[in-house]
């Protein structure tokens, strides 16, 4: 479980293909604190640390993950948002994020607004649970954000300078593909309502 509060943006230093798997090696400031088998959110995708060497660590993304996320688009030098799993004895500053990406979206507009930025994203819903609501929560590349201007398949988020600098949002431009995880509570409600309508 994660909170969507990104710790830092790691740098991709190596990409290795092995059959349908992709081994991603990155460097970050807390590599020496990591352990093998530890779960970390990468652009919102929960992946397991499989190797640690000096100041780098490696995770593996399988075919299913690559098909549903933007990890298959990574290149050496790219920044990846990182968050270690939430501790039970700490405050939940964002919202409940599972690290299970629902689908990808494309950035369609970036607007600067006197020190902050508005990003617009468009996506193709795969089900009733893939919705946003005004002032609701959504995870974009693992960042917990509040939705504004919610529409059927588009929404906006506002980014403050701290988030802009800390995460890979500063690299986003029109056409950038991002990972979305919709609010888990909303997904459960949508599924319950669908079941009730089916049985009525």
Q: What is the pLDDT of residue 185?
A: 86
Domains in the chain and their CATH numbers? 8-84 (2.40.30.20), 103-199 (2.40.30.20)
Q: What is the pLDDT of residue 187?
A: 84
Residue at token pair 């349908």 = 20
Q: Do 53 and 15 meet the contact criterion of CB atoms below 8 Å apart?
A: no
What Å distances lie between residue 57 and 31, 54, 63, 66, 99, CA to CA?
Answer: 7, 8, 20, 19, 19
Please list the ranges in the chain whose pLDDT falls under 70. Answer: 92
What Å distances lie between residue 104 and 16, 41, 45, CA to CA?
Answer: 22, 16, 12
Which segments of the chain does DSSP mark as H helices, in order? 63-68, 161-166, 184-199
Q: How far apart are CA 101 and CA 88, in angstroms?
A: 22
Q: What is the pLDDT of residue 42?
A: 98
Residues 98-130: tens digit of each pLDDT: 899 999 999 999 999 989 999 999 999 888 889
C-alpha dihedral, 131 to 129 to 92 to 88, nearest 10°: -170
Q: What is the pLDDT of residue 24?
A: 98
This model's pTM is above 0.75: yes
Q: What is the pLDDT of residue 199?
A: 79
């Amino acid at each position: 479980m994660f909170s969507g509060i990104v710790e830092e943006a790691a740098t991709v230093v190596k990409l290795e293909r092995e059959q349908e798997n992709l081994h991603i090696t990155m460097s970050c400031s807390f590599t020496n604190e990591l352990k093998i088998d530890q779960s970390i959110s990468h652009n919102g995708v929960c992946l397991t640390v499989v190797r640690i060497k000096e100041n780098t660590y490696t995770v593996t993304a399988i075919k299913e993950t690559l098909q549903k996320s933007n990890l298959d688009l990574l290149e050496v030098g790219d920044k990846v948002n990182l968050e270690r799993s939430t501790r039970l004895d700490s405050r939940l500053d964002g919202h409940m994020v599972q690290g299970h990406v629902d689908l990808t979206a494309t950035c369609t507009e970036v607007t600067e607004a006197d020190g902050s930025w508005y990003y617009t994203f468009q996506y193709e819903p795969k089900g009733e649970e893939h919705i946003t609501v005004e002032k609701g929560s959504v995870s974009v590349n693992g960042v917990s954000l509040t939705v504004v201007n919610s529409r059927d398949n588009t929404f906006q988020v506002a980014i403050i300078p701290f988030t802009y600098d800390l995460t890979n949002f500063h690299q986003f431009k029109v056409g950038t593909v991002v990972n979305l995880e919709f609010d888990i509570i909303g997904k459960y409600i949508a599924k319950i309502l669908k079941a009730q309508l089916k049985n009525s």
